[in-house]
């Protein structure tokens, strides 16, 4: 049977992946196909701008030195709906954890997810902000904000298809939008 809200929040990542696989069979991908394409483009734009301003290079170097900041606790921000969204975008889930003490979704080439939690999309450490400067940081946040908004929209559409799930919860910590985005969505 389906789990209660508390059980869901305590669910191990492997269980969330199993549950997401079951949920996938309840979804008609055609109903979210166009939104997923828009979201995928927005995600690519975020990555492209990060590359342009040197964030990827900074993180790559840092990961080689420190093992990355993708710690294990962050994986709990990735709930089953987010896993479903990634699966719908063709992301293959890992069979096992790549590195002990680190996020389940981390691979030797970085994060395997296309749709990532807000904390991962928004997080810029001091090393990055000091290097890229305020203007680039501001522009990156604007671009990433679009990715988060579209992710929120797709998530809501998927939840509508999963009525049983929708009864259990209608939002998730994985999709906390910045306040300006929430205002924008409610006014559209």
Give the footprint of ligand SF4 on this chain (CB under 6 A).
58-59, 62-63, 68-70, 74-75, 78, 103, 105-106, 111, 113, 116-117, 120, 125, 127-128
Which residue's CB is nearer to ligand SF4, number 47 or number 178?
47
Least distance from C-beta 98 to ligand SF4, angstroms?
Answer: 9
CB of 75 to ligand SF4, least distance (A): 6
Distance CA 18, CA 150 (A): 25
Asked if 84 contacts 153 with a C-beta cutoff of 8 angstroms, the reply is no
Helix/strand/coil (H/E/C) assignment for every residue in 123-149: CCCHHHHHHHCHHHHHHHHHHHHHHHH
CB of 150 to ligand SF4, least distance (A): 18
Q: Which is nearer to ligand SF4, 85 or 128 (CB)?
A: 128
Four-CA torsion 102, 104, 107, 112, nearest 10 degrees? -130
1 or 101: CB nearest ligand SF4 = 101
Q: Provide the 3-class DSSP secondary structure of residue 170.
A: coil
């Amino acid at each position: 049977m389906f789990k209660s809200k508390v059980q869901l929040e305590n669910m191990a990542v492997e269980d969330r992946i199993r549950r997401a696989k079951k949920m996938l069979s309840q979804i008609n991908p055609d109903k979210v196909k166009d939104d997923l394409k828009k979201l995928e483009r927005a995600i690519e734009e975020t990555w492209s701008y990060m590359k342009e301003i040197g964030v990827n290079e900074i993180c790559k170097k840092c990961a080689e030195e420190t093992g990355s900041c993708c710690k294990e606790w962050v994986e709990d921000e990735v709930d089953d709906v987010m896993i479903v969204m990634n699966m719908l975008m063709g992301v293959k889930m890992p069979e096992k954890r790549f590195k002990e003490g680190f996020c389940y979704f981390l691979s030797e080439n970085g994060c395997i997810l296309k749709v990532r939690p807000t904390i991962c999309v928004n997080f810029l450490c001091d090393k990055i902000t000091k290097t890229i400067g305020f203007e680039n940081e501001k522009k990156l946040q604007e671009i990433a904000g679009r990715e988060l908004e579209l992710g929120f929209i797709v998530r809501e559409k998927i939840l509508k298809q999963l009525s049983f799930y929708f009864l259990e919860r209608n939002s998730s910590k994985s999709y906390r939008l910045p306040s300006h985005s929430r205002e924008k969505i409610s006014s559209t």
